[in-house]
A and B are shown apart, each in its own frame.
Chain A
Amino acid sequence: MNLELKNHWMRLVARVAARLDIPDGPGLPMWLFHDHRVHNMIAALSLLRYTEEEVTHYTESFLLASFLESQELVISSVALEYYLKTIISYSDLPAPSCYLSAAVSASFNFILPDHQLRMGWTLFGSFIDGFEQLSVEWRRTFAEGFFTLSRQPLPRRRDTWDQLHPRVSFRGFLHENISTKWN
């Protein structure tokens, strides 16, 4: 079959629906769809490929960066984790997203419940893993978000760590927000 689409939003949706990657490129918008619900659906379906471990080659830093501004913590935190991994895998680092600091700040916000704060440690692990590769600008932006609101001792690691990994929460998010509403 041939599917030729003229509209750039339709092309984006077609790729997301087809579970195809959306690699970086100059034509890629740094923002997503104006409708909050569609934005979240695009993010959820795109990030699902990551949480299901289908993505082995990270090429979508622009797309992941656009999810950082999501109001859904589970989306922004999962996007942040893979955004960091993607950036670390690049030899030529782009400038950090303008939403990076806010997303880090949200992930470590001390008003979050313990189990969500623990998700932040996974992000922190990715940051530490790639610390040497990151530029000063990246480290500074991350630190700005990390220290702004993280003034409360972070929870101690427990045996349930694996169950509280972002991808578990993300599946839960998808299930609660999408699956149960469409049958």
Chain B
Amino acid sequence: MHREESLWLLSTLPELYSNGRLSGKESFWIEICLAILLNDAPNWNDADPPDIVLLDAVVTLAAMSCSPDRTNRLGIFTSSREHPWLLLNVRNPNLISGWFEDTPSYYHKQLISLLFLVIHALRYRRSYPLAIQYFNIITAKGDLHLYSSALTAIAPSMRHDGPSTIALMLVAPQAQDLASTIYNSWNHGDTVQEELLKNYDDRLGDSENPDPNVLAIVLMLSKYLSPVEIFSVFGTISCNPLTASYSQSGLRLNTNGNGYERPWQSSTLVMKQSNECTGGCATPPPTIGLSNRARAPMIPASYNRS
């Protein structure tokens, strides 16, 4: 579906819904909104950021469908129609705060998936404070499993920086400023996996079973790294330099001899820079300067564009 067709549909449905000519459960409307954003999301990039009018229309329809009170629905519809240029609905994250109280819990995953897409879109538009407000409202209950599940449900339709940024926000330490997390997400590049692993490991402790969705995201992100990039991300493991040696490519670590490095046994898995590997490295690892590969320039002027 083209963007114009999506916009037409999104502008028509609220009208029919507000005057009672269309009805349906919340999930029906949320599914329409999800389908439209999922269809559009793969095209979002720096040069072609998401259409803010489309986002406003999506939030308007979703908000109306989640509002049990007819007066509220009309209010949401009116704010969208009377002053469309003000984008009153998408710019009002408080609109969604009541969604989770007013809808049955089995819709929540769908709703959160939709709102994660909105956050993903706002990030592309450099509307970081607004994205963070949405994020804080969505994740107020702290149910990581629900959030990660909602994220993996939509991840296949997003560019890989989408799930990685939202996952980083989900597992960020309490004290960490989310603004910096989302702002720096353009600079994470290949180190996103490392941050995800580290932050989530800190959260988990040594015995708790991790959430499978978070692991799925970490594993999938590794698919986008070439062996050279993997090396630059993880360095090498040199817990036991006596038994570690590089393969001929210099990129993969093998073990040999009698002593195995056992990741499950060692108290910590230490990954170090190649220059710290001594003794066991038969072939010095190549010097790889990829750390700046994905450092996209930030444009402060476009900050909070929407």
Partners in one complex: yes
Tell me if A78 counts as interface (CB < 8 A to partner B). Answer: no
Contact at A28–B219, with CB atoms within 8 Å?
A: no
Q: Contacting chain B: which of A53-61, A121-129, A153-161?
A: A53-61
Contact at B255–A28, with CB atoms within 8 Å?
A: no
Contact at A26–B265, with CB atoms within 8 Å?
A: yes
Tell me if A4 counts as interface (CB < 8 A to partner B). Answer: yes
Contact at B255–A23, with CB atoms within 8 Å?
A: yes
> A156-183 CB contact bits vs B (8 Å, 1 = yes)?
0000000000000000000000110111
Number of interface residues, chain B, beta carbon within 8 A: 56
Contact at B227–A5, with CB atoms within 8 Å?
A: no
When distances are taken between beta carbons in the complex, the residues of chain B under 8 Å from A140 are none
When distances are taken between beta carbons in the complex, the residues of chain A under 8 Å from B198 are 3, 5
Task: List residues of A (26-47) whose CB comes within 8 Å of B's CBs.
Answer: 26-29, 33-35, 37-38, 41-42, 45
In the complex, residue of chain A having the shortest beta-carbon distance to the beta carbon of B245: A57
Contact at B219–A8, with CB atoms within 8 Å?
A: no
In the complex, residue of chain B having the shortest beta-carbon distance to the beta carbon of A29: B264
Q: Contacting chain A: which of B14-22, B24-32, B91-99, B202-210?
A: B202-210
Tell me if A143 counts as interface (CB < 8 A to partner B). Answer: no
* Residue of B193, B234, B235, B273 contacting most chain A CB atoms (<10 Å): B234
Closest chain B CB from A44 CB (angstroms): 9
Contact at A7–B206, with CB atoms within 8 Å?
A: yes
Tell me if B201 counts as interface (CB < 8 A to partner A). Answer: yes
In the complex, residue of chain A having the shortest beta-carbon distance to the beta carbon of B219: A41
When distances are taken between beta carbons in the complex, the residues of chain A under 8 Å from B265 are 25-27
Closest chain A CB from B159 CB (angstroms): 7
Tell me if A111 counts as interface (CB < 8 A to partner B). Answer: no
Complex CA–CA separation, A11 to B270 (angstroms): 10
Tell me if B215 counts as interface (CB < 8 A to partner A). Answer: yes
When distances are taken between beta carbons in the complex, the residues of chain A under 8 Å from B273 are 1
Given A3-B194, A34-B209: A41 in contact with B252 (beta carbons within 8 A): no
* A residues at B contact (CB < 8 Å): 1-29, 33-35, 37-38, 41-42, 45, 49, 54, 56-57, 59, 178-179, 181-183
Besides the known contacts A19-B252, A28-B264, 7 further A-B residue pairs in the complex with CB atoms under 8 A apart: A1-B191, A5-B197, A6-B206, A10-B200, A11-B264, A37-B216, A38-B212
11 contacts between A and B (CB under 8 A): A1-B234, A5-B201, A6-B204, A8-B206, A8-B263, A8-B264, A17-B193, A17-B230, A59-B254, A182-B223, A183-B159
